[in-house]
Amino acid sequence: MNHRRTVVLASLATALLLAGCTGTGGSSKGEEAKAPTDPSKVSGTITVLTQRTDLVQDGTMKRYAAEFNKTYPKVKVEFQALTDYETEVKIRMNTANYGDVLLIPGVIKKSDYPKFFASLGTRAERGKKYRFTDFTTVDGKVYGQSPIGVMPGFVYNKKVWRQAGVTTWPTTPAEFLADLKAIKTKTHAIPYYTNFAAQWPLTSWTFVNGSVHCDPQATTKLAKGDPWAKGADLRVGDTLLYDIVHQHLAEKDPTTTNWEASKTRLAKGEIATQWLGTWAIIQFRDAAKKAGLSPDDIGFMPFPAQVDGTFCAVVGPDYNQAVNIHSQHKEAARAWIDWFTDKSGYDKDNLAISPLKGATLPAVLKPYEDAGVKLIELDDSAGAEVKLIDDESEVGINKPDYRQSLVDLARGARSGSLDGFLDDLGKKWTAAQKNVGQ
């Protein structure tokens, strides 16, 4: 019996000891990953973490690395593709072993960047050359760089829209709904596809923010006011989504949608429209090619709202690449980020917007230039605060849950009114603002 007692006590003690060893990490602070001066002298093996499992599998990333080696012969680049990037990296970041180059996961608080990443330089210096620098700036230093810029918008099938007799982009939500109705009556296509089951496509409705009122301070407004107040950007966007589903302009059974299949179906004209982003264009064009159809039928249009007769579209960064503060080869890691952003051609391969200032728009966005769409960048100085409010309130503006509930509400699978639903979100949000402000 005595034995038993000691063992229990010993194991309990071990358990408590183990429990004590958590929450350590990032002890060194304020380190810098300097750009190498002589490319031929940089050496070392670096591990690059990426969410692009497809590009690692089909060898595209390897081709980039081979190209990189022409300039930096002594650096060996290895890739680790993570399927569930956010979750896996979050857990790994409790240790020092999270690659040499990684994409900054959304969960990391901006104020913690200096604890996890080496700085890439000052905001003043980098801002001259690159866009989106303030998204990763802490105390004047920049910690990440996105290789591409993305812009939200509707991916649509031009042919279907033409068949329905619509030739110009709708300029108001009401007009947009009328066009979808025309598609429903005149064609066999599903006017709008929610991709409810894949969940993340619904979160892109948050990127409506900014384009409704053409306001670069939209993020700051989220931090200060009620995003679902009358006329506010998110309310306009969410109301449009509600109306689309409520007026039966979306697919019949959203709960069993299929993202991969939706690409081909849109290319074939079975689906007319989806709200996604510029990054999706290439995937839909590829799907069209594979199905033996013309990729030129894939179109892209801005959110149906105009200020002074002009459309507005928000350009923002994709995942930002950063250097692990624990990396043994910071120069090599920095070299990879610079090369990948400036010279790899990753942006062109993805028909994406270049992060370099003054670069031209990709050809697929020619209609945007023709229509005189104004491109704006949001000021992200309140971005960290918005994230805090979002977590505290459990609203999840960048999570699928509340939009799934919104779609359920719109199709009658959940009781309540749209106004009640949005007001409730607003209440939670403004209550959390007070808690975070303390």
Partner 1 sequence: MTDTTAKTAVTPAVPAAAPTPAPAPRRARVWRGLTPWLFLVVPLALLITFTYAPIANMVAYSFTDWDGVSPQLHYTGGHNYAELFTRSDLFEVFFVSGYYLAASAVQIVVALYFATILSFDVRFRTFFKGVLFFPYLINGVAIGFVFLYFFQDGGTLDSVLALFGYHSSHAWLGTPFSANVSLAGVSVWRYLGLNFVLFLGAIQSIPGELYEAAELDGANRRQQFRHIIAPGIRPVLTLTVILSVSGSLSAFEIPYIMTGGATGTETFVIQTVKLAFQFNKTGLASAAAVVLLLIILAVTWVQRRLVPDDKVDLV
Name the one range near partner 1 by CB under 8 A: 9-17, 70-78, 223-231, 343-351.
Answer: 9-17
Name the one range near partner 1 by CB under 8 A: 181-189, 191-199, 297-305, 337-345.
Answer: 191-199
Among 377, 379, 408, 424, binds partner 1 (CB under 8 A): 408
Q: Does 394 participate in binding partner 1 (rule CB under 8 A)?
A: yes
Q: Does 83 participate in binding partner 1 (rule CB under 8 A)?
A: no
Q: Does 396 participate in binding partner 1 (rule CB under 8 A)?
A: yes
Q: Does 22 participate in binding partner 1 (rule CB under 8 A)?
A: yes
Among 404, 421, 426, 433, binds partner 1 (CB under 8 A): 404
Q: Does 356 participate in binding partner 1 (rule CB under 8 A)?
A: no
Among 76, 115, 129, 248, binds partner 1 (CB under 8 A): 115
Q: Does 24 participate in binding partner 1 (rule CB under 8 A)?
A: yes
Contact 70, 40 (CB under 8 A): no
Judged by CB under 8 A, the number of residues near partner 1 is 47
Name the one range near partner 1 by CB under 8 A: 70-78, 206-214, 329-337, 394-402.
Answer: 394-402
- Least Å distance, CB 348 to partner 1, is 34
* CB closer to partner 1, 27 vs 360: 27
Q: What is the CA radius of gyration of the chain?
A: 24
Among 54, 71, 78, 107, binds partner 1 (CB under 8 A): 107
Q: Which residues bind partner 1 (CB under 8 A)?
A: 3, 7, 11-12, 14-16, 18-20, 22-26, 86-87, 90, 93-94, 107-109, 112, 115, 196-197, 199, 252-256, 258, 390-391, 394, 396, 399-401, 404-405, 408, 411, 413-414
